[in-house]
Chains A and B, each alone.
Chain A
């Protein structure tokens, strides 16, 4: 049974949190997790739900695998982007799909906590409750703000891993990604990042 969460209040010791997060980030070599994603658009009465599997291996290997509402796989490895869905299997260089690579880098930065080191790019607010640290980032650049006006990252107090990521757009539409069954530093075969 889960612990009832208390309300978020201002974080008591942000320096300690940042130091520990940094230490954990250095120690974490792999992350593996299932995820459930909810996209809320003001024009829709119901959210668009997606599910899948995520894994990350240092330095820059990422696998995002959607299983619902349709099968879709993105692998990033050595500045190559590989995309596979039911009908297509393609490899792109980052020049032709720079936008998607930037987005992926941003998402990975949120998940491994590296984004918090970009203090000149974001205004950052730190909060906590009994089970989670909660960090709210507001981008400084107009370009980024036009795309995402706020980023909310929830870290598990037990291991400093990200348990929820919420990206809010101008106008209030948002994407909420919950990471479930997380496994840190497990063995992840390099085959997971091979394009086939």
Chain B
């Protein structure tokens, strides 16, 4: 009886979540336009360098972030201070396909707590995920943006596309009915993005990345 109650509650919660995540958007049958759900950083011949700021509670870390795509959907993400000291070095696989999607090669002591490592990996994983193989649902917003929703375990990801554009501009992450994070990709000069920002809801953690030409 207790199990039945819990199952019913879960079903109600998940249905409610589904409603709340996309309730202000109009569902459409399918999307005829070509869309790219791959990470912006999938070219293994290139490396990407960003001036970076991480604000976490009262802490502030600034420096440079290097993203290097390697073989087999694996990327390395290295964060350095301006003086060249390494703050962290992660290997990240597509988080939508792998449960253990990251490996830590190095992380400086104040950040080395497991929960911080996991938070950093989850956030950086948003920049490196490829939703190409996931089932998709299509919506349209009042502002005429195309929205594509994918689900992965208990999280929903909403990809926002400008009309007829191939690459997404915004990604929202929802979990248990609540918006957890927003990622904005700004591209004035084409790919890869000139700047990226990641904002968390209900948590003082924000990232800003500005691309540096090498």
Binding site for B on A (CB under 8 A): 37, 39, 41, 43-46, 48, 50, 64, 66, 69-70, 72, 74, 83, 85, 87-88, 90, 92, 96-100, 103-104, 107, 143, 146-148, 167, 169-171, 173, 175, 177
Q: Is the interface of A mostly helix, strand, loop or mixed?
A: mixed
Closest to B49 in A: A48
Q: CB of B12 within 8 A of chain A?
A: no
- Which residue from chain A places its CB closest to the CB of B213 in the assembled complex? A69
Which 3 A-B pairs rank lowest in CB-CB distance, beginning with the nearest? A175-B84, A39-B84, A43-B68
The minimal Cβ–Cβ distance linking B104 to chain A, given in whole angstroms, is 12
Q: Is B66 in contact with A100, judged by CB distance below 8 angstroms?
A: no
Chain B residues with Cβ under 8 A from A37's Cβ? 83-84
Q: Which B residues lie at the A interface, using CB under 8 A?
A: 47, 49, 51, 53, 58-60, 62, 64, 66, 68, 70, 76, 78, 80-86, 105-106, 108-110, 208, 212-214
B82 surroundings in chain A (CB, below 8 A): 50, 64, 66, 72, 74
B58: chain A residues at CB < 8 Å are: 96
For the complex, what is the distance from the CA of A104 to the CA of B84, rounded to whole Å? 12
Q: Which residues on the B side are within 8 Å of A87 (C-beta)?
A: 208
**Among the listed A70, A96, A169, which residue makes an inter-chain contact with B51, where contact means beta carbons less than 8 Å apart?**
A70
Nearest CB in chain B: distance from A71 CB, A? 10
B214–A99 contact, CB under 8 A?
Answer: no
B105 CB, min distance to chain A CBs, angstroms: 8
B150, chain A: closest CB distance, angstroms: 29
Q: Of B51, B110, B213, B214, which contacts A46 at CB under 8 A?
A: B214
Complex Cα–Cα for A48 and B84 (A):
9
Nearest CB of A to B89, in Å: 8
Cβ distance B60 to chain A, nearest Cβ, rounded Å:
7
